[in-house]
Amino acid sequence: MTKVAWIRHGSTPWNKEKRAQGSSDIPLDEEGKADARKLAERLHKETWDVLYSSPLKRAKQTAAFISEKVGLDIQFDSRIVEASGGQIEGTTEPERIEKWGEDWRSLDLSIETPESVVSRGMAFMDDVLRKHAGKKVIVVSHGALISHLLRELDSENVRDEHMKNTSLSEVHLREEQWFCDRFNCTIHLD
């Protein structure tokens, strides 16, 4: 059975400041590094076959801790980068309201659509299934991409909730259907 563990990267300074990150290349902060180490220790308890990561720093750094602990080389794939935030990247909600007004979400600010995010995420998943059928795969990515994609894969079991930093969500392929058996789990941080 094919199993894919989707990991959201560790925390960054912009997460703490509530700045839209999107495709901006922001590194982990110290808490993000510590949490990534805890996650890597959790993943070390299982056997994994493949490790993929977004090429953005925050995901690469998270994946590096995992790679060291589980003994897998990292394969980078640009299709699993975060949804582009367009003109809002680097801004906070109050800054967006000041610049574009209360209805900023209704403006064309070059923000990537959920449909675009799902399209590239599904293309990635199709390739994972083709290349690694029956394997256990770790994918380090980003909150919006993971949440949009998981809702597409298993809309019955995936809630619309904020993805926590270093959270683990697992999907399994059974009878040609993806099922999310674990969602947004951070027990390694307790």
Residues flagged as binding site for substrate: 8-15, 58
Q: Can 82 be counted among the known catalytic residues?
A: yes
**Distance from C-alpha of 129 to C-alpha of 186, rounded to nearest angstrom:** 26
- 3-class SS at 114? helix
Catalytic residue among 9, 142, 148, 188: 9
Which residues share a beta bridge with 168? Answer: 7, 185
DSSP classification of residue 166: T
CB neighbours of 104 closer than 8 A, spacing ≥ 6?
Answer: 88, 96, 97
- Report CA-CA distances (Å) from 13 to 19, 116, 133: 9, 27, 37
Catalytic residue among 30, 41, 82, 162: 82
Q: Can 161 be counted among the known catalytic residues?
A: no
Chain centre to alpha carbon of residue 89: 17
| Binding-site sequence positions | 8-15, 58
DSSP H stretches of helix in the chain: 13-17, 30-44, 57-70, 93-100, 114-132, 143-153
Residue with tokens 């998270």: 62
What 94-98 contacts at long range (C-beta under 8 Å, 24+ apart), as own/partner pairs, is: 96/20
Q: Which residues participate in catalysis according to the annotation?
A: 9, 82
